[in-house]
Amino acid sequence: MRTASHWLSLERSAVLVVDDEPGIRRMVSAFLTREGHAVVTAANLPEARNHLAGRDILVVLADITLAAGESGLDLLAEVRREHPDLDVMMMTANGDLGSAVESVKQGAYDYLCKPFPLEMLKAAVDRAVERRRLRAKAQMLERLEGRFAADQENMEEFLVSMATVIDAKSRYTAVHSQRVSELARLLGRALHLDEDRVQLVALGGRLHDIGKIGTPDAILDKPGALTRAEYLEIQRHPAIGDDLVAPIRTMQALRPMIRWHHETLDGTGYPDGLPGDRVPLEAWIVKVADFWEAITSRRPYRDPMPLPIAVKVLREEGGKRIPRDIVETFLEAIQDAPVALPTGPA
Ligand SMILES: [Fe+2]
Ligand SMILES: [Fe+2]
């Protein structure tokens, strides 16, 4: 005969059968065991509580009328309160439909009127077990989803740190992505984007050059003009950056800015040579901010441009390589903005 300790060793969730009549406990227990369920039995409420506290119970099958004035309805109330995920099925003496209905009102999952055909018991227990399994599965998915969301957030923080590392790779680009981010935010506001989109372009500005993690420092820091091969190497950074963030779900909205911030209106940009009308607004915003940051900061091969010359140079891009209205909005937006002033180490 199978004992409770035998079931405990199986580490399976059990059906808890609570009935004061030993014959019923034996019969129900034997039948459910044959059906492949782990079963524990209790003759009264204290025994039932012990089982509930001591092991994982799949479903409770409880007689409404117990000995010594105890009621299965009290057990039902306790389970609802302390184990809200657990289904309770009530058993009642034939003809006591009133209390059966009452038990359902109080949260019982179902009831069986004695004597019940064993097939009915099997169907009811199977249903309850299935519900429990589905619920456990849903909870597991929810937990996984939560963990996934947390991972995504961590990933965003990780990428921002990576952008800082890339800035630090070269003393000439020490604050490049930070400044591009601020300028992109400024332009986003001037274009009356909603606040979510403004934050998006600011983050896009911060991460736009993330692909430079793959560019050798010697090229980033080279004091003289770049060779053709070095220039081609630099041109790989938007696609490298895009490949880096492509698998991350929450980064999808940033991809156009990372991949296309070197595309141009006339289709001669890189990496895709997109025609200007296919470059999204977010990418133009980062491009203008990036362009301005580059010409107004010190680079290995030149001093920062004085303000009036930088304005002239950017304006010349308008209508040629960058949409003119975006250039003009940018120039208007940066008036009196300290972040736009020429900068860089002397
Ligand atoms: Fe870039
Ligand atoms: Fe850049």
Range of the structural domain that residue 307 is part of: 170-340
Which ligand has the minimum distance to the alpha carbon of residue 290? 2
Ligand with minimal distance to 297 CA: 2
Compute the distance from residue 112 Cα to the ligand 1 centre, in Å. Answer: 71
Å from CA of 7 to ligand 1 middle: 64
Contact 241, 234 (CB under 8 A): no
| Residue % of the chain over a pLDDT of 90 | 52
Ligand nearest to the CA of 258: 1
**Ligand 2 center–CA 185 separation, angstroms:** 15
Q: What is the CA(34)–ligand 1 centre distance, in A?
A: 69
**Which residues have their alpha-adjacent CB atom under 5 A from ion ligand 1?**
209
Last residue of a domain, which of 142, 160, 179? 142
Nearest ligand atom owner, CA of 235 = 1
In the reported structure, the alpha carbon of residue 330 is separated from the centroid of ligand 1 by a whole-number distance in angstroms of: 18
pLDDT at 320 over 50: yes
pLDDT one-digit tens code per residue, 44-68:
999 999 999 988 888 999 999 888 8
Same structural domain for residues 63 and 114?
yes
Same domain flag for 136 and 179: no
Query: For residue range 117-160, what is the model confidence (pLDDT) as tens digits?
Result: 888 888 888 888 888 778 877 888 788 777 777 777 787 788 88
**Are 233 and 197 members of one domain?**
yes
Ligand nearest to the backbone CA of 163 = 2
Q: Which residues, including other chains, have CB under 8 Å from residue 251's CB and lie 6 or more apart?
A: 155, 156, 159, 245
pLDDT in the model for residue 344: 55
Measure the CA–CA gap between 191 and 208, rounded to whole angstroms: 20
Token pair recorded at residue 77: 């109330």
Mean pLDDT of 219-242: 89
Q: Is residue 165 part of a domain?
A: no
Round to whole Å and give the CA distance between 110 and 120.
11
Residues around ion ligand 2, judged by CB within 5 A, are 209, 290
End-to-end CA distance of the chain: 89
- Same domain as 176, residue 111: no
40 and 181 in a single domain? The answer is no
Residues 6+ apart with CB under 8 A from 322: 264, 265, 284, 287, 288, 291, 314
How far, in Å, is the centroid of ligand 2 from the Cα of 57? 59
Does residue 80 share a domain with residue 228?
Answer: no
Report the CATH number at residue 80: 3.40.50.2300
What tokens does 125 get?
């227990």
Closest of 294, 293, 288 to residue 325, by C-alpha: 288
User: From the CA of 212, how far away is ligand 1's center (Å)?
Assistant: 8
Nearest residue to 13 via CA among 93, 108, 129: 129
Please indicate, yes or no, whether residues 180 and 233 belong to a single structural domain of this protein.
yes
Ligand 2 centroid, distance to 201 Cα (angstroms): 13
Name beta bridge partners: 322. Answer: 318
Run of H or E including 210: none
Same domain, 87 and 15: yes
CA 276 to centroid of ligand 1, rounded, Å = 17
| Residue 75 included in any domain | yes
The closest of 220, 172, 169 to 344, measured between CA atoms, is 172
From the CA of 317, how far away is ligand 1's center (Å)? Answer: 17
Please check whether residues 188 and 329 belong to one and the same domain.
Answer: yes
- From the CA of 79, how far away is ligand 2's center (Å)? 61
The pair of structure tokens assigned to 34 is 């044959």
What pLDDT, in 10s, does the model give residues 182-219?
999 999 999 999 999 999 999 999 999 999 888 888 88
CA of 194 to the centre of ligand 2 (A): 24
Kindly state whether residue 152 falls inside one of the protein's structural domains: no
Contacts of 315 (CB under 8 A, 6+ apart): 327, 331
Task: Name the region of 69 (left: φ>0; alpha: ψ -120 to 50; beta: rest).
Answer: left
Q: Whose atoms come closest to the Cα of 294: which ligand?
A: 2
22 CA from centroid of ligand 1 (Å) = 79
**235 lies in the same domain as 274:** yes
- What CATH number is associated with residue 304? 1.10.3210.10
Task: Please state the domain count of the chain.
Answer: 2
- Could you give the 3-state DSSP secondary structure of residue 297? strand
- Give me ligand 1 centre to Cα 335, in Å: 24
pLDDT digit string (tens) for 249-289?
A: 778 999 999 999 999 999 999 999 999 999 999 999 999 99
Are 53 and 5 spatial neighbours (Cβ–Cβ below 8 Å)? no
Alpha-carbon distances, residue 148 vs 140, 142, 160, 221, 247 (angstroms): 12, 10, 19, 38, 13
Paired tokens of 344: 């860089």
Q: Are residues 26 and 64 in the same domain?
A: yes
Ligand 1 centroid vs 255 CA: distance in angstroms? 13
Highest mean pLDDT among 3-7, 64-68, 180-184, 218-222: 180-184
**Shared-domain flag, residues 8 and 122:** yes
pTM, rounded to two decimals: 0.60
